[in-house]
Amino acid sequence: MLKGVIFDMDGLMFDSEKLYYQANLAAAKVMGLGYPDDYYERFIGASDEDLMGFFAAAFGGQAQMERFMQLTYDKINAFVKAGKLVKKPGLDNLLAFLDQVHLQKIIASSNYQDKIDAFLTSGQIRHEFPKIVSMDDVTQGKPAPDLFLKAAAKLNLPKDQLVILEDSANGFQAAQNAGIRCIIVPDIVPPTAEIKANAWQVLPDLNAVQDFLKTQLV
């Protein structure tokens, strides 16, 4: 029986992956760096540590990477303050439904706690998530299973009573590695054949997630 829902955040709850991409492009332009599309797509859902290692090599060293990341963070903060961070369709309805049927919920995000707090506060849903697992809590980000395993432990629920909501291939792989079923709501990158074959469901939006979860509680 389903008793708990583990949420990814970026690209699943918020339309933030596009903002990160725009911030990356802006940072690269300031620094006069090339930034092919596949740079961003390969790391959607991964941790900043993975990004930093790649960018240090791609951009010619630690100092270049640190400046690039700081410019990116500054741009993201500006986007959030300007009200450009938009919640994904159906998020508020899904959260209200989970509260109504008394399903536990938690965020397990490759982002850091301060950024998660800023995003949730901007979306006026910070109160919905007293339990959060961030990169501050683990040593390895997605596709390692650490974030999801720690979230399951915080909810104190067995894996077969949980579902993970994800948008990315890295997040899906982390769910597979954790041994927890996963619903994919694609964002920027379409789901692969492997995801289509192995995800519990691939659904178009969070409204469809709510409709599906209703069928599991009958």
- Say if residue 195's pLDDT is above 90: yes
| Residue 135, burial from CB neighbour count under 10 angstroms (0-12, 13-18, 19+) | buried
Residue 92 · residue 125 · CB < 8 Å: yes
Strand-pair partners of 164: 6, 182
Q: What is the pLDDT of residue 68?
A: 86
* pLDDT tens-digit series, residues 4-13: 999 999 999 9
pLDDT higher at 209 or 47? 209
Residue 55 · residue 49 · CB < 8 Å: no
Which of 22-36, 72-86, 203-217 shows the lowest mean pLDDT across its residues? Answer: 22-36
Domain boundaries, the chain: 4-15+85-216, 17-81
Q: Which residues contact 76 (CB under 8 A, 6 or more apart)?
A: 19, 20, 23, 115
Provide the sign of the torsion angle of the four alpha carbons 125, 183, 43, 85, taken in this order.
negative
Q: What is the pLDDT of residue 39?
A: 72
Dist. CA 184–CA 187, nearest whole Å: 9
* pLDDT tens-digit series, residues 162-179: 999 999 999 999 999 999
Q: What is the DSSP string of 128-178?
A: G-S-EE-TTS-S--TTSSHHHHHHHHHHT--GGGEEEEE-SHHHHHHHHHH
Residue 175 · residue 184 · CB < 8 Å: no
Closest C-alpha to 143, from 113, 111, 110? 110
* pLDDT tens-digit series, residues 135-171: 999 999 999 999 999 999 999 999 999 999 999 999 9
Number of C-beta neighbours around residue 213 at 10 A? 20
DSSP, collapsed to helix, strand or coil, labels residue 108 as strand
Q: What is the pLDDT of residue 132?
A: 98
Whether CATH 3.30.590.10 fits 4-15+85-216:
no
Q: What is the pLDDT of residue 45?
A: 67
DSSP, collapsed to helix, strand or coil, labels residue 85 as coil
What is the pLDDT of the chain when averaged over all its residues?
92
DSSP, collapsed to helix, strand or coil, labels residue 107 as strand
Q: What is the pLDDT of residue 189?
A: 86
Please name the amino acid found at residue 52: M
Q: What is the mean pLDDT of residues 102-125?
A: 96
Tokens of residue 27, six digits? 């940072």
Dist. CA 104–CA 6, nearest whole Å: 9
* pLDDT tens-digit series, residues 17-75: 889 889 988 998 998 888 877 777 766 766 677 777 888 887 888 888 889 889 999 99
- 44-to-8, 87, 126 alpha-carbon distances in Å: 12, 18, 23
pTM for the model stands at 0.90
